[in-house]
Amino acid sequence: MRGKRIRLLADHGELDVLREIRRRGAEGERGGGLRLGIGDDCALLRVRDGEELAVTTDLSIAGRHFRLDWHPPESVGHRTLARGLSDLAAMGARPVAAFLSLGVPRELTLRKGRRGSWVERFYNGLFQLAEAHKTPLAGGDLAESPVALADIVLVGAVPAGKALLRSAARPRDLVYVTGNLGGAAAGLSSLAEFAAKRRLVLSDPAAAPSELSPHLYPQPRVRQGLALQRRALATAAIDLSDGLSTDLLHLCEESSVGAIIDASRLPVAEGASPDQALHGGEDYELLFTARPTTKIPRAIAGTPITRIGEVTRGQTGRAPLTIISGSGLKPLQPRGWQHFSDL
């Protein structure tokens, strides 16, 4: 985060926020791999000898990935960071540092009520999740923009050669997921209803109905991904950002395999439909494969693990995904997450 952009908001009387960003960003400097944070041309990070770096970027744009009139700013900050942390989780990497480029229209920097400006509330949501995962904000950029947008970068570390890849699933591996599925899609659907009835949940995020939580405040499975990597439990992994049917297809394509899913085994979240569990996006659970001989615990770090299917040999000309249910076997089409502009 360089001087000139800090000044951009400082000119608007936002110095307090920026001091706070620098202070809270620096909190992680004591431990972890961050050696030099905000204030120079680059941040400096250190990882352990023999570790590789995992790096991911995710761009969120108002109207496409979130809506200013639906999502509390704390939720937008939380979700922005959750997307990046979830990518690290899917590689089995430990978070080292985050970088945020934030572009906002000028009015979002203005203080509104006792909770502060949109920007302050966005950072509050982001920092709360960052602190839960001991991830310092090491830098970024802050600029005025006609549309609100946030690009998050996560840098993680993983022992060389030990990262969980999408490409290493093998036929006869079993397919597992963490947690429950469909809760984020069900929450989004409720959020849309709330918005249609003008019962906005923007003003006090603590008062938002709990059914919205899986959508507004998804929990990235960083500890679970780390455990899978450290205990060498998984052959391949991906995070469920687009939806089970779509992300499983990504994993199968990268591994040149197919998969069969047992509908009766899907851990459907409370309030969600089986369809939302199969195709709803943004649950940020992990999907992983393991050798049939590997003993997988029922839960990792308090999150249940469910076996939902099996990896099959990929066959040219055949749909790679199949689902088995009461009505028998049929192809499973990827019908994953559509962005807001497509709703």
Q: Among 15, 23, 44, 204, indicate the residue that binds a second copy (CB under 8 A).
A: 44
Closest-CA residue to 104 (of 58, 152, 151, 147) = 147
Nearer to a second copy, 205 or 320 (CB): 320
What's the min distance (Å) between Cβ of 10 and a second copy? Answer: 14
Nearer to a second copy, 138 or 266 (CB): 138
Q: Among 141, 170, 262, 324, indicate the residue that binds a second copy (CB under 8 A).
A: 141
User: Which of the ranges 134-142, 173-181, 214-222, 307-315 carries the binding residues for a second copy, by CB under 8 A?
Assistant: 134-142
Return the structure tokens found at 343: 């709703």
Closest-CA residue to 285 (of 168, 176, 211, 191) = 176
Q: Among 21, 82, 129, 163, indicate the residue that binds a second copy (CB under 8 A).
A: 163
Closest-CA residue to 315 (of 338, 331, 302, 297) = 331
Beta strands at 257-262 and 321-325: parallel, antiparallel or unpaired: parallel
Instruction: Check residue 99 for interaction with a second copy (CB under 8 A).
Output: yes
Q: Would you call 29 helix, strand, or coil by DSSP?
A: helix
Do residues 255 and 167 lie in contact, with contact meaning Cβ atoms separated by under 8 Å? Answer: yes
Distance of CA 241 to the CA centre of its chain: 7
Alpha-carbon distance of 235 to 238, in angstroms, equals: 11
Nearer to a second copy, 263 or 284 (CB): 284
Q: Among 12, 20, 26, 36, indicate the residue that binds a second copy (CB under 8 A).
A: 36
Containing H/E element for 304?
strand 303-313
Q: Among 75, 101, 117, 224, indicate the residue that binds a second copy (CB under 8 A).
A: 101
Q: Among 147, 232, 319, 329, indicate the residue that binds a second copy (CB under 8 A).
A: 147
Instruction: Check residue 19 for interaction with a second copy (CB under 8 A).
Output: no
Return the structure tokens found at 89: 């989780």
User: Which of the ranges 92-100, 178-186, 205-213, 307-315 carries the binding residues for a second copy, by CB under 8 A?
Assistant: 92-100
Nearer to a second copy, 110 or 160 (CB): 160
Instruction: Check residue 3 for interaction with a second copy (CB under 8 A).
Output: yes
Instruction: Check residue 140 for interaction with a second copy (CB under 8 A).
Output: yes
Q: Would you call 51 helix, strand, or coil by DSSP?
A: strand
Instruction: Check residue 57 for interaction with a second copy (CB under 8 A).
Output: yes
Instruction: Check residue 29 for interaction with a second copy (CB under 8 A).
Output: no
Containing H/E element for 334?
none
Return the structure tokens found at 123: 């950072």
Instruction: Check residue 10 for interaction with a second copy (CB under 8 A).
Output: no
Dihedral of the alpha carbons of 132, 278, 193, 74, in degrees to the nearest 10: 10
214-243 residues near a second copy, rule: CB under 8 A: 237-239, 241-242
User: Which of the ranges 69-77, 91-99, 294-302, 319-327 carries the binding residues for a second copy, by CB under 8 A?
Assistant: 91-99
Question: What residues pair up with 287 in beta bridges, in sequence order?
Answer: 177, 238
Q: Among 20, 29, 144, 262, indicate the residue that binds a second copy (CB under 8 A).
A: 144
Instruction: Check residue 15 for interaction with a second copy (CB under 8 A).
Output: no
Closest-CA residue to 293 (of 338, 206, 235, 215) = 235
Do residues 54 and 158 lie in contact, with contact meaning Cβ atoms separated by under 8 Å? Answer: yes
Dihedral of the alpha carbons of 74, 59, 268, 278, in degrees to the nearest 10: 160
Residues in touch with a second copy (CB under 8 A):
2-4, 35-36, 39-47, 49-50, 52-59, 61, 63-65, 87-88, 90-91, 93, 97, 99-101, 103, 138-141, 143-147, 149, 151, 153-156, 158, 160, 163, 165-167, 237-239, 241-242, 246, 250, 254, 336-337, 341
